[in-house]
Amino acid sequence: MKRLIPCLEQDNVEIELILLIKTLLTACKEISFRVSQGALSNVLGSTLDENIQGETQKKLDVISNQLLKDMLLESGKVRTIASEEEDFVVAATENAPYIVAFDPLDGSSNIDINGQIGTIFTIYRAKDDAPANSELQFSQKGTEQVCAGYVLYGPSTMLAMTTGGPTRLYTLDKTQGCYLLTTEQLSIPTETQEFAVNMSNFHQWSAEFAHYINDLILGKAGIRAKKYNMRWNGAMVGDVHRVLSRGGIFCYPNNINQPEQPAKLRLLYEANPLAMLVENAKGKAFTEQTRILEIQPSDIHQRVAVIMGSANEVDKCLSYLR
Ligand code: AHM
Ligand code: MG
């Protein structure tokens, strides 16, 4: 089985970016270990104890954020960092070539129940017309991402990543500490009979979106004339991993009762990287109106509605919303 770095070299990924990806994934290896320790990771472990003295009783999402931040700050390859766990951007190395954003532990409500969680990350080129400590560094559309991926901490630790070409899947070999290529090219089936949505939000959806889901639930007796299955992890990274693996549609639509903040998921470090992974695996990724990757961001913590997955099913869903 091929190792990650030779795969990236074969894909002609520039060396500076390979080194940055390597750093990021080394941090994720450490997170994977912490996650597997569960409740014990608050009392065991070494790396972090040395970095932030006296602060060993941290929650896993805070620990993960700190690990990623520390390693990226030290790498010398990153000009600016944004994280779900940081209110503002963090300036790193002046004149470094890249900027990185991440959700250190997506699906954090699953931490306490030993459910699926993951680290989502995205890399862009740094902008020379904005200072390192400016949010403007991230004022770039998702189409500008040079790398997007996640590391899923499930029964096995898996990395899904694209550097512009196909979305590839790697599995962390914990005996050797390296990521091995296990699926050369993910390809989401265009048709599906599986959907992922938080059904308890039914009363918050637009009439059009509720109509679409209702037609899925009607199954063989309804207009879609097939039986649909439903799955909901409570962790986008786990739900989208399933969609990438065997097809499906993942939806987190707007809440019409909350016009001041209708969407839940964040554009920069959730929707955009997962949209790039899905598109590069032949799927589609939209808000209720637009292609996610074409949104001009206005804020690093901006939220958007998300509809992504099997191409024909996404088209069908959008046809209800137009
Ligand atoms: P988080 O980043 O704080 O974990 O929140 C995002 C998560 C997504 O991973 C997931 O799809 C969604 O929130 C679950 O929301 P819900 O509480 O409606 O199940
Ligand atoms: Mg999240």
pTM metric for this prediction: 0.95
User: Alpha-carbon distance 66 to 150, whole Å?
Assistant: 17
Average pLDDT, consecutive stretches of 10 residues, N- to C-terminus, the chain (322 residues): 96 98 98 89 54 55 95 98 97 97 94 93 98 98 98 97 98 96 98 98 98 98 98 97 98 98 98 99 98 98 98 98 95
Give pLDDT, residue 47.
Answer: 47
User: Alpha-carbon distance 146 to 163, whole Å?
Assistant: 6
For ion ligand 2, residues whose CB falls within 5 Å: 103, 106
Tokens representing residue 35 in the block:
């996650």
Q: Residue 119, Cβ neighbours under 10 Å: how many?
A: 28
Q: Which ligand is nearest to the CA of 243?
A: 1
Distance 105 CA to ligand 2 centre (A): 7
Q: Which of 264, 269, 303 most suits a substitution to test ligand 1, by most atoms within 8 Å of the C-beta?
A: 264
Residues near 113 by beta carbon (within 8 Å), at least 6 away in sequence = none
**Closest approach atom of ligand 1 to CA 239:** 11
User: Alpha-carbon distance 217 to 223, whole Å?
Assistant: 10
User: Alpha-carbon distance 74 to 139, whole Å?
Assistant: 24
3.40.640.10, 1.10.238.10, 3.90.550.10, 3.40.190.80: which CATH number matches 194-321? 3.40.190.80
Q: Which is it for strands 157-162 and 168-173: parallel, antiparallel or unpaired?
A: antiparallel
Pocket of ligand 1 (CB under 6 A): 84, 103, 106-108, 198, 234-236, 252
**Closest approach atom of ligand 1 to CA 200:** 18
Same-fold call for 4-183 versus 194-321: no
Residue nearest to ligand 1 atom 2, measured at CA: 106
Tokens representing residue 46 in the block:
């070494």
Distance 138 CA to ligand 2 centre (A): 18
**Closest approach atom of ligand 1 to CA 237:** 9
45: left (phi over 0), alpha (psi -120 to 50) or beta: left
Residues 160/167, Cβ–Cβ less than 8 Å = yes
User: Alpha-carbon distance 182 to 152, whole Å?
Assistant: 14
Distance 1 CA to ligand 2 centre (A): 31
Q: Which is it for strands 265-266 and 249-252: parallel, antiparallel or unpaired?
A: unpaired
Residue nearest to ligand 1 atom 16, measured at CA: 234
Q: Residue 215, Cβ neighbours under 10 Å: how many?
A: 17
**Closest approach atom of ligand 1 to CA 252:** 11
Give pLDDT, residue 207.
Answer: 98
Give pLDDT, residue 46.
Answer: 45
Which sequence spans correspond to the domains of the chain? Answer: 4-183, 194-321
Q: Report the CATH fold assignment for 4-183.
A: Fructose-1,6-Bisphosphatase; Chain A, domain 1 (3.30.540)
